[in-house]
């Protein structure tokens, strides 16, 4: 049962509705090509950031929560992605 629920959740995450929700919250969608986000040039690993603990502290706590998130408009105000009242 748990596997089927997990598979359904993964299926939903790749759906157009979920991908559009990612865009609304300024998250990069994986299944939709959009010009809203620049192409990725390269990736980095957690080792390059000093491990997961340090990466979380530096990126999530310091950078995201204190500098980026307060300046984002995360309200669902862009109706161009909302379909049928969803």
Q: What is the pTM of this model?
A: 0.44
The pLDDT value given to residue 86: 42
Q: Determine phi and psi for 64, rounding to 5 degrees.
A: -70, -60
pLDDT band of 83, cuts 50, 70, 90: very low
Q: What is the pLDDT of residue 9?
A: 93
Is the pLDDT at 39 greater than 90? The verdict is: no
Pairwise CA distance, residues 58 & 56, whole Å = 6
Which of the pair, 78 or 53, is modelled with greater confidence?
53
**Torsion 75-73-11-46 (CA) sign:** negative
Residues 6+ apart with CB under 8 A from 37: 28
Residue-level pLDDT at 12: 92
């Amino acid at each position: 049962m748990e596997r089927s629920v997990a598979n359904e959740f993964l299926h939903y995450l790749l759906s157009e509705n979920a991908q559009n929700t990612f865009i609304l919250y300024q998250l990069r969608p994986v299944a939709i090509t959009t010009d809203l986000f620049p192409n990725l040039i390269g990736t980095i690993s957690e080792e390059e950031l000093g491990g997961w603990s340090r990466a979380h502290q530096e990126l999530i706590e310091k950078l995201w929560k204190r500098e980026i998130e307060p300046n984002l408009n995360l309200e669902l105000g862009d109706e161009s992605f909302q379909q049928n009242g969803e």
